């Protein structure tokens, strides 16, 4: 499966300009015969707690991307905010080229350090889907710091998408954790971040494709860019058969005793 990561310079809380940028990159990806293009978290707004502006009750962003999927015959992954009573949900949705929603993940770990939990409801489900015979799942930004959810799904998938608005100040954490998630789960990691400055916060991008051995195969830094790469399901099988660490993983660590000597 041919995948494109769009490292986007999101214009903060400006859906009109961001829609124009998104369409341009989708057309570029389509010209390269890409099967799936993925965008960063909160694609059309950037990471904002201003849910009065960003949150939707009419799924307008979903409808827009569905039309683009059908019109360009391409699958798209994107982030958006859903209004739920007085709070909201941070979604990452994937729609296939025929307009069907094949994955709709709600961020499990709101970023309490910045107060995201005061405005956003936690998700409670992990999504698995398949496209062009590649099994995949997706997580959002701060989820990257919680390896348990990656381990839960990794036996079922070959590719895990991480969509983010991850700041430059913690870029070493981003790069290190992404490689760790690939190595310990023996999966491809497709990590797509934004770039530029938004609301006084700088983003370095560092979007990348990492193989099941933890090697960074492609990476974009400090610029708006499209990364295109073909995911090889057989490579995941080769890595897992050559070094079968998953056979030794215990399934219920919570049941183990804690010895305080």
The residue range of the domain holding 195 is 2-255
Structural domain count of the chain: 1
- pLDDT, tens digit (0-9, with 9 covering 90-100), for 88-142: 999 999 999 999 999 999 999 999 999 999 999 999 999 999 999 999 999 999 9
Q: Kindly state whether residue 84 falls inside one of the protein's structural domains.
A: yes
Q: By C-alpha distance, which of 39, 24, 47 is closest to 75?
A: 39
Question: Between β-strands 225-230 and 188-192, what pairing exists: parallel, antiparallel or unpaired?
Answer: unpaired
Q: Kindly state whether residue 36 falls inside one of the protein's structural domains.
A: yes
Q: Kindly state whether residue 261 falls inside one of the protein's structural domains.
A: no
Q: Give residue for tokens 């490689």.
A: 179
Mean pLDDT for 234-241 is 98
- pLDDT, tens digit (0-9, with 9 covering 90-100), for 16-63: 999 999 999 999 999 999 999 999 999 999 999 999 999 999 999 999
Question: Between β-strands 87-95 and 101-106, what pairing exists: parallel, antiparallel or unpaired?
Answer: antiparallel
Q: Kindly state whether residue 260 falls inside one of the protein's structural domains.
A: no
CA-only gyration radius of the chain, Å:
18
In this prediction the pTM is: 0.97
Q: How far is CA 152 from CA 88, 115, 125, 201, 239, in A?
A: 25, 27, 11, 32, 19
């Amino acid at each position: 499966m041919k995948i494109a990561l769009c490292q986007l310079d999101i214009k903060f809380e400006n859906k009109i300009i961001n829609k124009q940028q998104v369409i341009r990159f989708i057309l570029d990806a389509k010209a390269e015969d890409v099967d799936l293009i993925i965008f960063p978290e909160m694609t059309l707004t950037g990471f904002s707690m201003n849910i009065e502006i960003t949150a939707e009750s009419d799924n307008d962003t979903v409808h827009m991307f569905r039309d683009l999927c059908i019109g360009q015959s391409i699958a798209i992954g994107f982030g958006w905010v859903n209004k739920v009573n007085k709070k909201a949900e941070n979604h990452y949705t994937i729609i296939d080229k025929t307009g069907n929603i094949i994955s709709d993940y709600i961020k499990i770990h709101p970023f309490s350090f910045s107060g995201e939990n005061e405005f956003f409801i936690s998700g409670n489900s992990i999504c698995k889907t398949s496209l062009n015979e590649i099994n995949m799942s997706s997580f959002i930004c701060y989820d990257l710091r919680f390896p348990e959810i990656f381990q839960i799904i990794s036996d079922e998938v070959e590719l895990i998408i991480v969509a983010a608005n991850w700041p430059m100040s913690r870029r070493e954490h981003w790069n290190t954790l992404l490689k760790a998630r690939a190595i310990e789960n023996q999966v491809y990691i497709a990590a797509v971040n934004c770039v530029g400055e938004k609301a006084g916060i700088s983003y370095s991008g560092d979007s990348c494709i990492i193989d099941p051995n933890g090697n960074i195969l492609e990476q974009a830094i400090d610029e708006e860019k499209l990364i295109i790469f073909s995911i090889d399901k057989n490579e995941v099988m080769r890595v897992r058969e050559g070094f079968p660490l998953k056979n030794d993983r215990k399934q219920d660590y919570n049941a183990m005793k804690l010895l305080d000597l």
